Amino acid sequence: MLYQKVLNGDKRSLARLMRFVDDRIDGYEKEMKEILPKCGKAHFIGITGSPGAGKSTLTNEIIKHYRNLGKKVGVVAIDPTSPFSEGAILGDRIRMAEHSQDEGVFIRSVATRGHLGGLSSSAIEIAMILDAAGYDVIIIETVGVGQDEVEISTVSDTCIVVTVPGLGDDIQAIKAGILEIADIFVVNKADKDEAHRTARDLEMMLELSQKKDWTPPIVKTVATRGEGVAELVEKIESHRIKFNSKHSERLFFIAKQYLIEKIEKNIFSYEKIIAKLNLNGDPYSLVEEMFNSLTNGINIRD
């Protein structure tokens, strides 16, 4: 079993198990059943924001800072999948290549494979493997997201939303959903003239926020020079101390995704659903029929 070597810190086994999970190779569930009870110690940091905001460069600098503090860092970098080739460039790992020889850093790139919400269906499982393997800080960097792609907030202990000045929309990443998920705002590329205006717009939006237990701080950074990263990590640590881990939420996310996969793979095929819809054109009755056959009269809320 791979999990035993993973728990002993073997990086090659770590990479193999991640591949098994990402590719859904038969038997990966047995490995994960042994891994998940060993999780719950790491701090999960989600980094999201608009494409081109400098998330990967910022992640690279955060890694450096935590390594200087003696922390082991795991990174799950999520790249979008091509709708045509179903491939992904996985370029985020290239931008963090300087850490490739560091034994205290493990970086894994994964493709979304059509999953919406800024995450990948296997991303959280891969992050949990890093948790079980003894990494202190797990960074999950999402694809560039829009205002309703806020899944990362449900599974990260601290969620960072990265914005940049000068993209033509004064509140380009501060739409309702993104505003609500941020625990910390970063105004990256703060050496640009418009940076003070972006920070001011954020402050104005936060004044309207309903959050009472934590007011998201706004940190200005120039990630290419490492400026502002020390302050950012201080804010991350302050948030970590104040709030509980979202370990249970991550387990729920995995359970939900696994249930959906099981249903799609083993119970209701796409072809059969389309055939039934073509017969009567009633999706509501079809879903009720599917649900009744799945639960067989059992109240699943009990």
- What's the start-to-end Cα distance of the chain, in Å? 35
Q: Rounded distance, CA 206 to CA 202, Å?
A: 6
Q: What is the CATH number of domain 40-247?
A: 3.40.50.300
Assess contact for 47 and 58: CB atoms under 8 A: yes
Which 8-state DSSP code applies to residue 148? T
- Residue with the two structure tokens 């460039």: 89
SS3 139: strand
Region 143-167: mean pLDDT is: 80
Collect all residues with Cβ–Cβ distance below 8 Å to 233 and sequence separation of at least 6. Answer: 62, 65, 66, 69
pLDDT digits (tens, 9 = 90+) for 33-87: 999 999 999 999 999 988 889 999 999 999 999 999 999 999 999 876 544 344 4
Token digits for 86? 């179903």
> Where are the extended beta strands (E) located within the chain?
43-49, 73-79, 105-111, 137-141, 158-163, 184-187, 218-220
Token digits for 160? 């960072």
pLDDT digits (tens, 9 = 90+) for 171-198: 554 555 667 789 999 999 999 999 999 8
SS3 240: helix
> Where are the extended beta strands (E) located within 136-217?
137-141, 158-163, 184-187
Task: Give the strands of the sheet with 158-163, arranged side by side.
Answer: 105-111, 73-79, 137-141, 43-49, 158-163, 184-187, 218-220
Region 222-246: mean pLDDT is: 97
pLDDT digits (tens, 9 = 90+) for 283-295: 898 888 888 877 7
Q: Is the pLDDT score of 145 beyond 90?
A: no
Q: Rounded distance, CA 88 to CA 192, Å?
A: 31
Note the pLDDT of residue 168.
55
What global pTM score does this model have?
0.88
